[in-house]
């Protein structure tokens, strides 16, 4: 029987040869990049790589090695592409992105649309970000808001994208794909529910409480202490506040935001109704202009990948090789394609950064339908 130490020594010698051959291959890849720069050819040649994989797998002697060599050369060629992208960037061949850098997002003398009704959390987010010197109007659905900025009847839209408790707003991700609108900013609003009544109401007078179903659910612990109260779900927490304000009935209460209470001139009963201290909603500010702030530090993109092993890894590795920190990944089903998904990625960076341009160039060449959703 061969000694284990001898076997390990042999592996070490083979590994040394493999490293030397890898570096030699990367050197040749650099020369390929120089040629592509001079001739304007694309880095990613799908047909060439498929032919290469077919050739090297035919050199193996069993199925296990065949799969192993296929995976090995997929990674080697992926690393070769990334080296070529970096060399292209160093030569100034990064390419221009179709976005314009601006100092600030305009916040005065503009039209802003938000989904929902006055007094809603989206209304509060609009006020928090833009202030009072805007012409604002509200629409019924998120799609209506996206259409308003797409057609130019509004300059910006304020829309929910994620809640810290309930998760992402799925439909909003789909709308970002369907419309040529772009994220230019975000605003986080803490969803701090209050028990609101008409002024002068005492707690023992309340018989019915109104809110959005999520609001009632999030305040279940408090409502369980008042089992005699009738719970009535409505379309929006602000709708609940408006009803209580309009009816002027001391037996009614609404679970809604402090902003809604102030807007509809209701009384905060001063009791803790929600025990989740970190419930917040993130809103995006969207426009039909391809712009980004000079100090923007988050990029959002989406793309599809071929339905085969390793495809997603190859896309994500562009962030690794360009030293970019990915902060979020979500997936949504692609309409009309069973079990295939579109991926949504957030990562740190600015569209003016060379590393960001380099990563986006690689993903655009290798992915399917890559879209920059915004830099904010």
Residues catalogued as catalytic: 281, 283
3-state secondary structure of 95: coil
Q: Are 262 and 281 in contact (CB under 8 A)?
A: no
Q: Cα–chain-centroid distance for residue 364? A: 17
Q: Which two tokens stand for residue 119?
A: 């007094």
- C-alpha torsion angle, residues 328, 329, 330, 333 (rounded to 10): 160
Residue 157: closest CA among 121, 105, 101, 111: 111
C-alpha distances in angstroms, 313 versus 48, 79, 117, 211, 293?
20, 12, 43, 43, 30
Residues 6+ apart with CB under 8 A from 360: 97, 301, 370, 372
Report the first-to-last Cα separation within the chain, whole angstroms: 64
Q: Are 282 and 348 in contact (CB under 8 A)?
A: no
C-alpha distances in angstroms, 35 versus 31, 43, 77, 94?
6, 10, 17, 16
Other Cβ atoms closer than 10 A to 250 = 16
Q: Which two tokens stand for residue 322?
A: 């360009």
296: DSSP letter: -
Residue 264: closest CA among 240, 289, 230, 296: 240
Residue 172: closest CA among 281, 293, 98, 259: 281
Q: Are 91 and 38 in contact (CB under 8 A)?
A: no
């Amino acid at each position: 029987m061969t000694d284990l130490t001898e076997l390990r020594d042999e592996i070490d010698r083979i590994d040394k040869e493999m490293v030397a051959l890898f570096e030699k291959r990367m050197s040749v890849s650099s020369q390929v990049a120089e040629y592509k720069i001079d001739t304007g050819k694309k880095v990613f040649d799908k047909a060439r790589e498929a032919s290469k994989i077919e050739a090297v797998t035919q050199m193996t002697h069993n199925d296990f090695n065949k799969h192993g060599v296929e995976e090995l050369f997929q990674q080697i060629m992926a690393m070769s592409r990334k080296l070529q992208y970096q060399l292209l960037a160093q030569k100034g061949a990064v390419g221009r992105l179709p976005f314009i850098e601006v100092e600030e997002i305009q916040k005065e003398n503009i039209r802003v649309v938000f989904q929902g009704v006055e007094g809603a959390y989206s209304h509060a987010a609009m006020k928090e970000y833009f202030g009072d010197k805007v012409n604002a109007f509200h629409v019924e659905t998120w799609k209506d808001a996206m259409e308003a900025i797409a057609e130019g009847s509004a300059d910006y839209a304020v829309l929910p994208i994620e809640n810290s408790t309930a998760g992402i707003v799925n439909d909003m991700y789909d709308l970002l794909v369907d419309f040529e609108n772009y994220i230019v900013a975000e605003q986080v609003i803490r969803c701090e529910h209050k028990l609101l009544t008409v002024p002068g109401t005492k707690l023992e007078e309340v018989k019915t409480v109104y809110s959005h179903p999520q609001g009632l659910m999030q305040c279940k612990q408090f409502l369980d202490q008042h089992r005699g109260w009738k719970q009535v779900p409505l379309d929006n927490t602000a709708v609940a506040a408006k009803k209580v304000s309009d009816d002027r009935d001391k037996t009614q209460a609404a679970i809604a935001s402090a902003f809604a209470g102030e807007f509809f001139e209701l009384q905060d009963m001063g009791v803790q109704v929600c025990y989740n201290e970190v419930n917040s909603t993130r809103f995006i500010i969207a426009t039909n202009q391809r712009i980004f702030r000079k100090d923007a530090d988050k990029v959002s993109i989406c793309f599809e990948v071929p339905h085969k092993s390793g495809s997603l890894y190859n896309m994500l590795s562009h962030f690794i090789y360009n030293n970019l920190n990915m902060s979020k990944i979500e997936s949504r089903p692609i309409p009309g394609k069973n079990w295939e998904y579109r991926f949504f990625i957030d990562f740190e960076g600015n569209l003016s950064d060379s590393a960001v341009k380099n990563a986006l160039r690689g993903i655009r060449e290798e992915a399917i339908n890559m879209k920059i959703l915004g830099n904010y």
